[in-house]
Structure 1
């Protein structure tokens, strides 16, 4: 089991001690630091900033959103950062959801799996730099032709030579079909709101994708599964759970729309459908405190690690026996240090 540090995104500016914590994660032996984006802070800039003050820790987006950038822009950014960091980039990607894609980026949200497949294929072609890039589409044609164009576009090849011809691409996925897609076309899978209770289903879906895996990719044995695990070290288990309930309530109840919330679906599949319905009903009605209170401790326990260090140690055993290959610690400096001590 590898361990990384999940920083995510922020609302009121970067945490004051973020750089020091990233440097501490590197000293403590964590192999990667992961950032995210929704519709505020972006995923790449923090990695460039903190990466300049580190030397070995891998720099990973967890996740960069497909609709935020064209495939060419994403490839340029990843290749540039890979050069500057000495080959430390992991490119984590995700489709997000229709509310963000259409409401924030002003992009359509049809056939997200097909769009992901096209997007990743273009990235691979650009970063390999073997020939000018062409893509048939239909969602992401290169070069673009037809109505509304000048007709002057032509296939181009990156002027930047890659430091590495194969930057690892990991796909975020919560649903069955895109989980299988990750195993088919990517180097890793980034589940969210995952539990070791999902293990058998996850292995089955990944096996489905591995059966169709591209021959040009590293073998399935090297496929990585990296999952953010919220961790709170506290002698009081309920107090620890209280620190995570607002986050779970937000994703289950407030992200997406009723009937179109991938996070709701992921948690409901863990056997918490009734609880999810109650959380969502409260949240969408503006009763956030009631939504937070409706998150049961056993749900927090299912997707996170909470309580005193010895309880967290016991909980880690479930994760280490699962399909997960890397735990991304989602927590404060105390959580990082506790996990480092438990590993030692």
Structure 2
């Protein structure tokens, strides 16, 4: 239970030249938001927009939610993180995640074996890079250093990091991945959180978390008098994630919705979406699911529902959706008091 929720702004993917959120990020910084986060899938990368906003701010922390493991070898991510952290005065929060087989195999042309073991190995190598205690070696099997049988030798990072303990967050949806986050990271970035259900779903996985472990939940926030339209907006997002953001045989987003108690609905949504019947897939999403994982409606309704989040293991709300100063201020006042 988090008596004092922290507050961040999640911008998601950068899409086009007109999508420059500099003014919004500066406003969030001025209003006391702790962090701003950017994402990547198979469009824009997470680091470049974050560097852009970091150059135009001075205090707000800068997070990736998440940088995909298969997009870069672990030493490349470590170098990028070290550089951005240095240039922004130690403000980086490095969220990483394994993604899913649809993206890893379809976009990066790589296999998707043993995501937990790969993630653990990846994080261990990054920490070795930042510590600079000795030339970096790793036995593998996923990221052996140096490459076995070749001419390479162990190397050590040339540049001294500003911080050798850059905070790492894991994007994770399965209980085993969440347990891994408590073991190797400073925080967990859940995409879908139903606050009344998170304890039952992940309480055991979070039991070993160290004090200060950050459960930084991404949540859609829509301030409006039209609750129906707001719920429909969340359902539109869920239609894509449950229906199409994953392979038919392995869709982690559909799996998590199933663990929330909507397994039959998730199966039907995915089948309809993949059959091209997207309107029907939208209609198949339960309103209570869309409402449960978001904060939508008039300020009074959001204030009431916010108490559910305060009573949950969530420690940090990364709000998605607000694009203007009045809304950012209203949310700030509700969350931070």
Band of TM-score, shorter chain: over 0.9
Which of the residues 5, 9, 16 maps onto 2:13? 9
Structure 1: distance between partners of 2:295 and 2:332: 14
Matched, 1:294 2:284: yes
Shift of 1:135: 0.2
Paired residues, what number? 329
Aligned to 1:276, what secondary structure does the other structure show?
helix
SS of 1:199 mapped into structure 2: helix
Q: Show the counterpart of 1:69.
A: 72
Measured after TM superposition, the shift of residue 13 of structure 1 is: 4.3
Matched, 1:128 2:131: yes
- TM-score (normalizing by structure 1): 0.93
- Deviations along 1:314-341, one digit per CA (max 9) or x if unpaired, are 1111111111110000112354232113
TM-score (norm: length of structure 2): 0.95
Shift of 1:201: 3.2
Give the C-alpha shift of residue 14 in structure 1. 5.2
Quick one: distance in 2 between partners of 1:275 and 1:244?
16
Aligned: 1:158 with 2:157: yes
Q: Which residue of 2 aligns with 1:339?
A: 331
Quote how far apart the aligned CAs of 1:258 are: 1.9
Q: How far 1:290 moved relative to its partner?
A: 1.9
- In the alignment, the residues of structure 1 paired with residue 202 and residue 315 of structure 2 have an alpha-carbon distance, to the nearest angstrom, of 13
Q: 1:213 is matched with which residue?
A: none
CA pair 301-110 structure 1, distance change in 2 beyond 3 A: same
**Secondary structure of the equivalent of 1:42?**
coil
- Whether the 8 Å contact between 2:14 and 2:49 is mirrored in structure 1 is no
CA distance in 2, matches of 1:118, 1:227: 25
Over the aligned positions, Cα root-mean-square deviation in angstroms equals 1.2
The match for 1:110 is 113
Q: Which has the higher contact order (CA 8 A, sep 6+)?
A: 2
Distance in 1 of aligned mates of 2:278 and 2:73: 36
Segments of 4+ moved more than 6 angstroms: none
Kept in 2: contact 1:202–1:323 (CA 8 A)? no
Paired position in structure 2 for 1:273: 263
Q: Which of residues 221, 240, 261 is equivalent to 2:251?
A: 261
Structure 1 segments unaligned to the other structure (5+ residues): 211-219
Deviations 1:53-86, CA, capped at 9 Å, x for gaps: 1010000000000000001110110000011100
Q: Which residue of 1 aligns with 2:205?
A: 205
Matches within 5 A, 1:24-103: 24-103=27-106
Report if the CA contact (8 A) 2:14-2:38 is conserved. no
1:137-172 per-residue CA deviation (whole Å, 9 max, x = no partner) reads 0111000023xxxx2200000001010110000011
